Structure 1
Amino acid sequence: MSQTRILALVGSLRAASVNRQLAEAAVQTAPEGVEITLYEGLGDIPFYNEDIDVPGAVPAAAQALRDAVAAADGVLLVTPEYNGTIPAVLKNAIDWASRPYGAGALQAKPAAVVSASISANAARWSHGDVVKALGVAGSTVVEAAHAHFGVIGERFGAAHPREDAEALTQLGASVHELVVAAQGAGVVSA
């Protein structure tokens, strides 16, 4: 069996973000034969602009993201909630990876969403917006792979999510469902 590659995109740029920690914990849950890579550099990508999305002008940071998404068998998006919606950096990544429309790197790519916030709502509004944007971008949204984490300030204030058995179980289930979708889609890279 070939290696399954999952790319994790984290919607918070803060180094100590619990959302980043959840993505790091998800890496820990990867079964044998699955590699999860946290994408670095979302903050370096300029806002999407069709004027620079032309051959010879696409910014290197945006092209690197497109290439990484294209090389992945599935994408795991981990999102906080900013003012009741998706963080701009994550929406921008979806915008760049979705172009050209109908043929972008996200087209038919299995994707799962993990959301987390300090509220009991667990970033469900942001989660819904990410799912909507992925669907419009042409991704195959794997609903069985979704996970939500609420009151993260209390839950993970003293310990990294990798030290929380329940969180690892939830993340492991999300990774498992995403991998099954990627393998079932026949997109697993050699």
Structure 2
Amino acid sequence: MAWLNVAKIIDVTQAEGPGLRTAIWVQGCLKRCVGCCNGQFLKIQPADVCDSQMIIEQIAQNQKQYGIEGVTLLGGEPFLQAEGLADVAQACRKMSLSVMVFSGYQLEELNDNRFKGASKLLQVTDVLVDGEYQQELTENVRNWVGSTNQQFYYLTEFYTDEIETRALNVTNEWRIDRQGSILGNGLPFILRA
């Protein structure tokens, strides 16, 4: 068991990777990409600190209840919590779920010297999307990425590059929480008055 600092979890989404997925955003990132769509998750501070086993149990319930096909790990920066997320991803693989990870770092930077547990997380990742978001390089063709510099890496055969341009039914989702706040997730979007 490892501890994770979780910013947000959506039990079932169609907007954060292929198929129905559970999306887990971790709190904290050292990068400050201009225009980051998850700016509220950048500050390194306690959010919802929980153990990895609780997350694994929630994912198992989501698979049973919603029939999810995978989990997407985002942030913040997932590799700042690679060790704990590797436990979660490994459990997902045992449940035959796919694992997709978004990182602001490039693949060659993701090593154990820099991020404890990075190699373990990569070993149980099916698709890695790497690279900083660059506002001036807006992506208009590929799914789920914000800028053209970001790259997909298929680390297993679970998916092929077909997912990058697959027609999507959902690109953004809107939810109303119990306090009446409207929450959005999905492809980066800009609200205009």
Structure-1-length-normalised TM-score: 0.39
In terms of fraction of residues, the more strand-rich structure is 2
Structure possessing the higher relative contact order (Cα contacts under 8 Å, 6 or more residues apart) = 1
